[in-house]
Amino acid sequence: MGRARRARRIAQQAVYGGGGAAAALGALGLAGYGVLRIEAELAKRIVGSPFDGAPDDNGTYGYGPGDPIRFLMLGDSTAAGMGAATREQTVGAIIANGVAALSGRPVGLTDVAVVGAESRQLGDQVVRALEQVPHPDVAVISIGANDVTHRNDRSATVRHLEMAVSRLRLTGAEVVVATCPDLGAIEPLPQPLKLLARRWSRDLAAAQTVAVVEAGGRAVSVGNLLGPSFMHDPKIMFSEDRFHPSPAGYARLAAALLPSVVAALELLEEPSTTATSPHPHIRHGEGVGPLPVAATKAVRRPGTEVGPAEISGESRGPRGRWAVLLRRVLAPVPQLRGDPDAATEPGEPGPGPGEETPTDPPEDGKRPGPVSDPAALGGRPAS
């Protein structure tokens, strides 16, 4: 079964109920599960826990006239900034400073993320956040890693995320979600645990993308954004525990999320910043098509945003909801050597036009114009 179909199935189970984790463990077999438990315990011993917590990054960032932009940060230890040495090094603070610089207004950051949080705890975080800021302008959620490490039911996990996004959207807030990172990039994990962690985390990320867009948010693929650094120096992007990002790692994550936050707040007047009226560049591998297909493509390219789209005024087509895939971060991220998921899985569509060489200039030297062709994502052209 291709990842697009798995993502759609998990998202549907989140609505109608069903256990994905139990089926996955059943297919694995008792012997394989026993091996994984042993390897997981060994990995826990290797991965240290030298941090007592995360810096308090709540407060106002930037300067300028007018009321501060109201910014919420929710999620797990990555959203909280565990591994950062100072408050200015967290993902929330970096995004807040970036938004302040581009808007010319101060940004008030309210960070309710909890170290070790799982998706089922997002509901409580939303309640606490809205008690402090009843009408936020934008919210960023980073969640999923602990759901994979604790082998939580994926359908239930996705359902909790979708409910959190929906609740925030009801307040009028724009919502940007950093989907589950590729845990196969974590250095201490041995094989076959590394391979399975990569597969499970990518399947969850694709299902999260489907749920987030269905709820009216924007999903940004984190993937193996930090993983390739292990090929050179694992101490650059990861902190002392070899699991949480370092300050440099948080800067890279924030750089992947900031363009989507800026677009959601409509701070730049660009045609491609409106999710419901997209103008993707086909040369960059962007396009409009069925949501599960877009979610699958995003998983394979970190920094890719997937948001809701319409074709001829319709939000849904024969294969479900339309979605736009945007490469907001065009700098290529190298694939991990030997990554089996870098290639197209059976049953999944191949790369869209221009995706294999997104940075190659066109023959005439001109930047390609905007297109809204769903065929770029395996969809049907608008009538």
Q: Give the DSSP H or E segment for 204.
A: helix 193-214
Strands 69-75 and 107-111: parallel
Asked if 244 is an active-site residue, the reply is yes
DSSP E strands: which ranges in 212-319? 218-220, 287-290, 304-308, 316-317
Q: Are 205 and 225 in contact (CB under 8 A)?
A: no
Asked if 160 is an active-site residue, the reply is no
Q: In Å, how far are 179, 265, 366 from 183, measured between CA atoms?
A: 12, 30, 39
Task: In whole angstroms, give the CA distance from residue 356 to residue 359.
Answer: 9
Task: In whole angstroms, give the CA distance from residue 113 to residue 268.
Answer: 28
Asked if 221 is an active-site residue, the reply is no
CA triple 193-122-70, angle to 5 deg? 125
- One of 111, 119, 142, 244 is an active-site residue; which one? 244
Give 91's contacts (C-beta < 8 A, 6+ positions apart): 73, 78, 79, 81, 140, 142, 250, 253, 254, 257
Task: In whole angstroms, give the CA distance from residue 123 to residue 182.
Answer: 24
- One of 57, 76, 77, 341 is an active-site residue; which one? 77
DSSP E strands: which ranges in 1-101? 59-61, 69-75
- One of 103, 166, 241, 279 is an active-site residue; which one? 241
Task: In whole angstroms, give the CA distance from residue 100 to residue 60.
Answer: 10
Among residues 51, 175, 161, which one has the least CA distance to residue 116?
A: 51
Q: What is the DSSP letter of 352?
A: P
Q: In Å, how far are 37, 42, 103, 198 from 34, measured between CA atoms?
A: 5, 13, 53, 19
Q: Annotated catalytic sites, by residue? A: 77, 241, 244
